Amino acid sequence: MTTTPRRPRPIPPIRAAAAAVLVLATACNPVSSRPAFTPYPEDQAVLLTGAVPDLTAQVASWLASQGIHTEWVSPEDGYVESTWYDTDTRQNTDGTGDIGAMQVTFKVRVWLDPDAPGKSRMTAEAVYRPLTDPSRTERDQERAARPGSGGAVLVQELIDEMRKKFGGG
């Protein structure tokens, strides 16, 4: 008696989709401490010599040396975010207050990404909130610091210091 080989049964589409999702979920790490948004297009970027985790620590250290508190530092993800900082009083604040104070209160964010071998790209921004609206997300209320403002000057000082210490290209 001869037996005919059994044809493999097709995989049901739902099962195939579930397997694909499982493979994708395990292939990449969906957990990141970076925010869901990206830097503004007009934010400054510079190429530095060094690894992302080391440069992230240096950025956080520079902010601390200026008296600026950090709210979020992730060397693994290459991200640093300061608290709100009033450039006139040189005090960390909650980012609210009268409209005059809000015009000189900035938050600094820095993204560091691997680039060429041994190099990292640092993108830095300073943002302010022209007004507060609890019905909108924080990012929706922010605007890039105007050229010459305290926030823009602060970011330029950070970039100059990192470029001086870590070269670039």
153 in any annotated domain: yes
Q: What tens digit of pLDDT does each residue of 85-139 get?
A: 999 999 998 877 676 778 899 999 999 999 999 999 999 999 999 888 889 998 9
Q: What is the CATH number of the domain that holds 91?
A: 3.30.530.50
pTM to 2 decimals?
0.79
Span 30-57, average pLDDT:
93
**Chain position carrying tokens 């400054």:** 44
Provide the residue range defining the domain that includes 132: 40-166
Within a 13 Å sphere around the CA of 140, how many CA atoms are in the beta-carbon half?
A: 6
Q: Compute the distance between CA of residue 94 and CA of residue 78 in angstroms, rounded to an integer.
A: 24
Give the rounded percent of residues in the chain with a pLDDT score beyond 90: 68
Number of folded domains that form the chain: 1
Tokens encoding 135: 């019905």
pLDDT given for residue 1 in this prediction: 59
83 in any annotated domain: yes
44 in any annotated domain: yes
Q: Compute the distance between CA of residue 130 and CA of residue 142 in angstroms, rounded to an integer.
A: 7
Tokens encoding 30: 């969906």
H or E element: which one contains 27? helix 13-27
Is the pLDDT at 148 greater than 60? The verdict is: yes
142 in any annotated domain: yes
Please, which pLDDT band fits residue 55 given cuts at 50, 70 and 90?
Answer: very high
126 in any annotated domain: yes
Q: List beta partners, residue 80.
A: 73, 110
105 in any annotated domain: yes
For the ranges 4-18, 93-107, 115-129, 143-157, the lowest mean pLDDT is seen at: 4-18
Please, which pLDDT band fits residue 20 given cuts at 50, 70 and 90?
Answer: very low
12 in any annotated domain: no
27 in any annotated domain: no
